[in-house]
Amino acid sequence: MSADADIVSPRINSSKLGQYNKQIVRVVGRLQIVDDSHAMIEASDGGQIKLLVNQTFMPKLQGADFVEIIGEVQDAGTLKYQTHSTFDGGVDLKLADQVIEMSLKYQGRIF
Query: pTM (2 decimals)?
Result: 0.86
Give the confidence band of 1 by pLDDT, cuts at 50, 70, 90: very low
Residue 71 has pLDDT above 50, yes or no: yes
CA angle 49-32-16, nearest 5°?
A: 20
Q: Domain count of the chain? A: 1
Say which residues have a Cβ less than 8 Å from residue 92's Cβ, sequence separation at least 6: none
Say if 111 falls within a structural domain: no
Say if 46 falls within a structural domain: yes
Say if 109 falls within a structural domain: no
Cα–Cα distances (Å) from 2 to 54, 75, 98, in that order, read 16, 25, 27
Q: What is the pLDDT of residue 102?
A: 92
**Domain coverage including residue 77:** 3-104
Give the confidence band of 56 by pLDDT, cuts at 50, 70, 90: confident
**CA-to-CA distance for 108 and 91, rounded, in angstroms?**
26
Using one digit for the tens of pLDDT, what is the confidence trace for 97-109? 999 999 888 876 5
